[in-house]
Amino acid sequence: MRENKALSAWQRDEQTIGCWLSLANSHSAEVMAHTGFDWVCVDLQHGLVDYADMVTMLTAISTTEATPLVRVPWNEPYEIMKALDAGAYGVIVPMVNNRAEAEQAVSACRYPPKGNRSFGPIRGAVYGGKGYATEANDQIACLAMIETAEGVAKADEIMSTPGLNGIYIGPADLALSMGLPAMGDQPQPEHLEMVKSLLEKCKAHGLAAGIHTSSLEFTQKYLALGFNFVTLAGDVGHMAKNAARELAAARGTEGPSRESTGY
């Protein structure tokens, strides 16, 4: 079975940079994957992408060495299983609140006896190649998001879930859970402290630590902190920011003050 290069890197405590995909389009997925990111993540939660588009996007990513990930829309077993069957090599599961939910996420990623994933890796096995049935439990990354008040409070019990490979932080939801305004890249010092605290716990539990950003600035900041996987913005953001900046420059007007929506 094809190696999960991103997961291998995280298991060696290395740092990787990825890109977020919110556009339902195989070509933007292919272009982003060709850019050289270590991994690329199709977002089924907030992205405007559904299952059918995800399939063509995962296929597009498969033309490159980038590891294909999917953020599933919810901690729903069949949504996780369908993403994996379609060829995702890892899932990012939103809003995991406690141990039971973390265990449910992991279980959906693992064939029995380690979990309850149903067998039928229709495209996953085409992408993964021979050995998928027996090796997938070790190659597929299960990544839980900690971003709610309950999830933060129960971070340790989540992080100690057997079979979980890593934690991914959603800064905007984390901010809301702290009573801070959602801004995407959050500038508040207390937010940074919370991020650092979660990162430390994550390292202590031997898990890969990941976080979302909408900018180079925050990517650099979080890489400097030691995160293993940082999202350097996404397809829509790269497009919109560059277009707005250059349009303002061409018109000789001031740059745009785009209100972040986190994406």
The distance of closest approach from Cβ of residue 209 to a copy of itself in the complex, given in angstroms and rounded to an integer, is: 17
Q: What part of residues 55-114 is at the interface with a copy of itself (CB under 8 A)?
A: 55-56, 59-60, 62-63, 73-74, 76-78, 81-82, 85-86, 94-95, 111-113
The distance of closest approach from Cβ of residue 92 to a copy of itself in the complex, given in angstroms and rounded to an integer, is: 12
The distance of closest approach from Cβ of residue 196 to a copy of itself in the complex, given in angstroms and rounded to an integer, is: 20
Q: What part of residues 130-189 is at the interface with a copy of itself (CB under 8 A)?
A: 130-134, 147-149, 170, 172-173, 176-177, 179, 181-183
The β-bridge partners of 167 are 144, 209
Question: How many helices and strands in the chain, by DSSP H and E?
Answer: 13, 8
Q: CA separation (Å) from 104 to 25, 126, 162, 166, 212?
A: 30, 26, 11, 15, 23
- Would strands 16-21 and 90-93 be described as parallel, antiparallel, or unpaired? unpaired
Q: Does 261 bind a copy of itself (CB under 8 A)?
A: yes
The distance of closest approach from Cβ of residue 19 to a copy of itself in the complex, given in angstroms and rounded to an integer, is: 6
* Residue at token pair 């397809």: 235
Between 27 and 196, whose beta carbon lies closer to a copy of itself?
A: 27
Check if the beta carbon of residue 84 is closer than 8 Å to that of residue 113: no
Catalytic residues: 46
Tokens in use for 151? 């999830």
CA distance 189 to 168: 19
Q: How many CB atoms lie within 10 A of CB 107?
A: 18
* Residue at token pair 């389009």: 25
Between 86 and 198, whose beta carbon lies closer to a copy of itself?
A: 86
Q: Does 243 bind a copy of itself (CB under 8 A)?
A: yes
HSE of 111 in the Cβ direction (CA atoms, 13 Å)? 14
Q: Does 221 bind a copy of itself (CB under 8 A)?
A: no
Q: What part of residues 222-241 is at the interface with a copy of itself (CB under 8 A)?
A: 223, 230, 232-233, 235-236, 238-241
The distance of closest approach from Cβ of residue 169 to a copy of itself in the complex, given in angstroms and rounded to an integer, is: 13
Between 21 and 205, whose beta carbon lies closer to a copy of itself?
A: 21
The β-bridge partners of 185 are none
Helix ranges (H only) for the chain are 5-11, 26-34, 51-61, 77-85, 99-109, 124-128, 132-139, 149-153, 155-159, 171-177, 189-204, 216-225, 235-251
Among 98-106, 127-135, 155-163, 197-205, the segment contacting a copy of itself (CB under 8 A): 127-135
Binding to a copy of itself by CB under 8 A, coded x per residue (else -) over 10-29, reads: -------x-x--xxxxxxx-
- Residues touching a copy of itself: how many (CB under 8 A)? 98
